Amino acid sequence: MDIKLLKAKCGKENYEKLLALKNPSLVDFVIKYVALCNPERVFVCNDSEEDIRYIREEAIRTGEEKKLAIDDHTVHFDGYYDQARDKENTKFLLSKGVDLGPDINAMDREEGLKEIHDILKDIMQGHQLYISFFSLGPTNSEFSIPCVQLTDSSYVAHSENLLYRSGYEEFKRLGGSARFFKFVHSEGELEKGVSKNVAKRRIYIGLQEGIVYSVNTQYGGNTIGLKKLAMRLAINRASEEGWLTEHMLVMGVHGPEGRVSYFTGAFPSLCGKTSTAMLKGETIVGDDIAYLRKEDGEVRAVNVEKGIFGIIMGINKKDDPEIWEILHSPNEIIFSNVLIGEDNKPYWIGMGEEIPQKGQNYSGEWWAGKKDAEGNEITPSHRNARFTISLRNLKNIDERIDDPQGVVVRGIIYGGRDSDTWVPVEESFDWAHGIITKGASLESETTAATLGEEGVRKFNLMSNLDFLSIPLGRYIENNLNFGASLKNPPLIFGVNYFLKDKGGEYLNAVEDKIIWLKWMERRAHGEVDAIKTPTGYIPQYKDLKRLFKEVLDKDYSEEDYIKQFTLRIPENLAKIERIVEIYKTKVPDAPDILFEVLEEEEKRLEAAKAEHGDYIAPAVLDRES
Ligand code: SPV
Ligand code: MN
């Protein structure tokens, strides 16, 4: 196809918008995929309110979203079998001789390109193609990466307008020099509004050319190119350039006298990442993806996004007052895969209120007790149902969100769902110890939200395992090197919101996590002492007692403290054994230092055990530290 045909599909106005970017390689890319996917027409979205509104209206016109009772609320449904990230069909396309190691899903590049281009042929026939431009990270910033998204889904384009900073002007500023990521998405043929050919769902990632293809799917994690698809490309680019792309929240933790200290935190899905970022009294920079760079001997971070694609299950008035309020007021929100009652309002499991017995959900018309084709009862909302909002609407948005320099990171947190091993909060001895024993040793127990047995520990280093586009060993090495040259690297902490007693009861209340943050903030400024244990530094009772009183007006008992912070040696030793086994057997390029640091930790634990037994109360360790 030549440029004339592109002009015909675009119409004069859209065509001129494209050419105004003065970027020949962008135009070549667009021509190639317009020719292949063969949409009926093309819409080019610039940063104007008018264009952004047009996409919103398109989502209603095409039926991809429906209006709800509250102004500016809409609902979108993904197909019944299209409710989560498809790990099996998400693959890196690798040239011969390139190997990312056994843990990363990859296939031959030529083969993959042929398959995906065959699927894309004429796939957009009769549909409109939306072309949108974004900036990952603040515009005009060294951190940021320009991106172009081609999609035939107005829901995807609309979601991206909520979640990412507009980048049309950024492309204009950069002209031909823009090193941009490219995303091509098609929901494919639709049946009752959802992707029909999910058996041919494919998400293929071309690292070499910085392009991701996603077809026959609608679920955001598979289709919103700038989210986890771009993250995979960015991990690769960061590795080449010496910075980090992390699955991390970024937040301002508010200390004494108006001080704000920034923390980043990595948690696997459903482990409290968004709710940590949204804690009352603190300020949010981002809840999912961060770029980290070193500047003047400090670590700086930006939020790649400007919105939240958050899990809605379990959000209730008591534990999440901030999000609750937003979800019930007239902000622009896309609810996905929730239950819509006869009152045209969204309902979800774990909302702490009565849910209607019938309505519309991700299975179509729904009633209590409805079963799917496999005989499983269909939940009112899907466990992975989500809400999409722009951070702009939040009262607790941090004022530095768009700072092109990013924010200075004082602490990095790693946390997973762990019923029996880690204490609620612990600081590592130094950068390497933290990266290895907290980040690279991160595990999380499966929940009812994933298929299969509950409570099974899954290894998930830095909560980034699903997205790594470089060999695991290299990724760990990059992390180690990143902090090694810093004079004052951020402190690294492990947290555990999910510790239980022997009877299976949680040892902490949901709101306690704010106390761990406040303690970490004080540690980052050297204002509180800590107890040295074989696995790191833990808080002293007196400091927590004071913080519980000050922040939550709670009387924190020494008995609770002892239960929560008792060092559990057998569990910690078993964990080290599991982690070492994984790295020995599955990560051929694991760095030696990883084994050394874990072995030293094991020795410290064995020595403590010989002296004090299997379970050691903090007071006993305090006497020694
Ligand atoms: C996650 O699962 O970590 C998410 C949602 O943030 S998704 O976009 O599906 O990755
Ligand atoms: Mn995520």
Same domain, 374 and 454: no
Q: Is 269 in the pocket of ligand 1 (CB under 6 A)?
A: yes
Residue nearest to atom 9 of ligand 1 (CA): 221
Structural domain contains residue 83: no
Q: Tell me the C-alpha distance between 169 and 581, whole Å.
A: 50
* 603 Cβ neighbours under 8 A, 6+ residues apart: none
Question: Comparing C-alpha atoms, which of 181, 218, 195, 202 is closest to residue 87?
Answer: 202
Cα distance between residue 360 and residue 566, in whole Å? 48
220 CA: nearest ligand 1 atom: 8
The CB of 228 under 6 Å from ligand 1? The reply is yes
Closest to 350 measured CA to CA, from 378, 372, 320, 388: 320
> Position 54: which residue type?
Y
Does 370 lie in the same domain as 340?
yes
What is the C-alpha to C-alpha distance for residues 444 and 578, in angstroms, rounded to an integer? Answer: 13
Q: 117 and 133: one domain?
A: yes
Per-residue buried b or exposed e for 493-511, using 16+ beta carbons within 10 Å of the residue's own CB? bbbbbbbeeeeeeebbeee
Does residue 537 share a domain with residue 594? yes
E strand spans, 374-529 = 386-390, 407-415, 425-427, 443-445, 457-459, 491-495
Q: Are residues 494 and 610 in the same domain?
A: yes
Find, among 344, 534, 352, the residue nearest to 428 by Cα.
534
Q: Do 470 and 235 form a contact (C-beta atoms < 8 A)?
A: yes
Residue 51 inside a domain? The answer is yes
Distance 435 CA to ligand 2 centre (A): 20
Distances in Å between the alpha carbon of 127 and those of 156, 189, 388, 418, 618?
14, 10, 24, 47, 64
Q: Give yes or no: residues 278 and 352 share one domain.
A: no
| CATH at residue 333 | 2.170.8.10
pLDDT of residue 450: 55
Same-domain check for residues 51 and 143: yes
Domain that includes residue 342, residue range: 309-393
195 within 8 A of 218, measured Cβ to Cβ: yes
Q: Ligand 1 center to residue 269 CA distance, Å?
A: 7
Rg, C-alpha atoms of the chain: 25
**Structure pTM?**
0.96
Give Dmax over CA atoms of the chain in angstroms. Answer: 81
Judgement on whether residues 24 and 132 belong to the same structural domain of the protein: yes
Pairing of strands 145-151, 181-186: parallel
Residues 451 and 509 in one domain: yes
Ligand 1, atom 3, lies closest to the CA of 269
Nearest alpha carbon, ligand 1 atom 6: 288
Q: Which of 208, 241, 274 is the last residue of a domain?
A: 241
Copy the structure tokens of residue 449: 């939200």
Ranges of the chain whose pLDDT falls below 50: none
Residue 490 CB-half CA count within 13 A: 29
DSSP of 513-526: HHHHHHHHHHHHTT
**CA of 289, nearest ligand number:** 2
Domain count, the chain: 3
Distance separating alpha carbons of residues 360 and 366, to the nearest angstrom: 5
Distances (CA, A) of 521 to 148, 188, 254, 400: 38, 48, 8, 18
Q: Which amino acid is at 157?
A: A
DSSP 474-503: HHHHHHHHHHHT-SSPPEEEEE-TT-B-TT
463 Cβ closer than 6 Å to some ligand 1 atom:
no
Q: Does 568 contact ligand 1 (Cβ within 6 A)?
A: no
* In-domain check, residue 46: yes
Q: Which ligand is nearest to the CA of 270?
A: 1
- What size, in residues, is the chain? 625
Query: CATH code at 196?
Result: 3.40.449.10
- Say if CB 165 and CB 138 are below 8 A apart: yes
Q: Is residue 283 domain-shared with residue 323, that is, in the same domain?
A: no
Residues contacting residue 32 through CB under 8 Å, at least 6 positions apart: none
Residues 298 and 316 in one domain: no
Note whether 324 and 348 are within 8 A (CB): no
Q: What pLDDT does 1 receive?
A: 59
